[in-house]
Amino acid sequence: MPKALVTGITGQDGSYLADFLLEKEYEVIGMVRRTSTINFDRIRHIQDKITVVQGDLLDQVSLINLLQEHRPDEVYNLAAQSFVPTSFQQPVLTGEFTGLGVTRVLDAIRIVDRHIRFYQASSSEMFGKVQEVPQRETTPFYPRSPYGAAKLYGHWITVNYRESYDLFGCSGILFNHESPRRGLEFVTHKITHQAARIKLGLADELRLGNLEARRDWGYAPDYVRAMWLMLQADRPDDYVVATGETHAVREFCQVAFECLDLDWEKYVKVDPRFYRPAEVDLLVGDPSKAKRKLGWEPSVTFRDLVRIMVEADMTTLQAMEDHTPRV
């Protein structure tokens, strides 16, 4: 039975990857940081099927110990400080986790077992102020946030360890990928959740920043499949994973509210507080290499993605309403 270590297993991608790996009959080891309260909501349905262990991207020794104890065949590094606005407020911490944390994992692999296959979760935010459209593996990077800069370091250190130590290290340059498990602080889930609350009479407006920002949005379970495919290839490489379509935040709002028979323009308000110090205006990926070499294809359209998220939020909120005591 193959064994995989997943950092960031309690996040959106980590939980879907764990689901996927279990279906592939892997033994799954999930790394979490020690905190007084750990949120297991996304993995509660599989908690008895995986092994949850404590480790920290800031602690090199903990990573070495985990690799020595569990001897995984594959390591998926999904843990990070992953919220772009927070990276402007906490740039040093973002660099430690999202940048140097990658080096600590790679060096632990170098020390313990160089045969371990490694996946690094890179990001389309590395393209930032885009130098060409669409963005592909050869497009020059120009990050526009501390998060993007930290991810860029993680990307290049993965390439460096691959070339310096002959490690099987892959960097997946994933464009935005969403799902009902997305954190509520992310704009997509903020939109669908608040739209559902408005529909149920629990809210009367939705405040957002730049409605014209355009992103390439896909479905998270499709993207974790791409991660796995990268580590099954004969040779390590870097891949853009995207849908090849771009949509504005405005359009995401329109589709979400249409799913609920609402006019989005009546409820959405632009709030300058949510503007970034340096905006990324347009991201759209070219996934042709992943399609050609890995046989990967997205399975969910943009409109279906929005519908899935809206329906999930409606179901969750209605269930909460049903269990709320009436006074």
Q: In CATH terms, are 3-178+219-241 and 187-215+245-278+300-322 the same topology?
A: no
pLDDT per residue as tens digits for the range 247-261: 999 999 999 999 999
pLDDT per residue as tens digits for the range 137-195: 999 999 999 999 999 999 999 999 999 999 999 999 999 999 999 999 999 999 999 99
pLDDT per residue as tens digits for the range 217-250: 999 999 999 999 999 999 999 999 999 999 999 9
Instruction: Give the C-alpha separation, 152 to 106, whole Å.
Output: 15
Could you tell me the residue ranges of all domains in the chain? 3-178+219-241, 187-215+245-278+300-322
Axis-axis angle for helices 60-70, 101-112 (nearest 10): 40
Predicted confidence at residue 327, as pLDDT, reads 52
Say which residue, 201 or 320, is predicted with more confidence: 201
Q: In this structure, what token pair is assigned to residue 72? A: 């995984």
pLDDT per residue as tens digits for the range 5-19: 999 999 999 999 999
Instruction: Give the C-alpha separation, 227 to 238, whole Å.
Output: 10
The per-residue pLDDT of the chain, averaged, comes to 95
Active site (catalytic) residues = 123, 125, 147
pLDDT per residue as tens digits for the range 82-97: 778 888 999 999 999 9
Instruction: Return phi, psi of residue 163, to 5°.
Output: -80, -30
pTM attached to this predicted model: 0.95
* pLDDT surpassing 90 at residue 322: no
The percent of residues above 70 in pLDDT, for the chain, comes to 98
Q: What is the mean pLDDT of residues 63-72?
A: 98
Give domain 187-215+245-278+300-322's CATH architecture: Alpha-Beta Complex (3.90)
CATH superfamily placement of domain 3-178+219-241: NAD(P)-binding Rossmann-like Domain (3.40.50.720)
Instruction: Give the C-alpha separation, 179 to 208, whole Å.
Output: 19
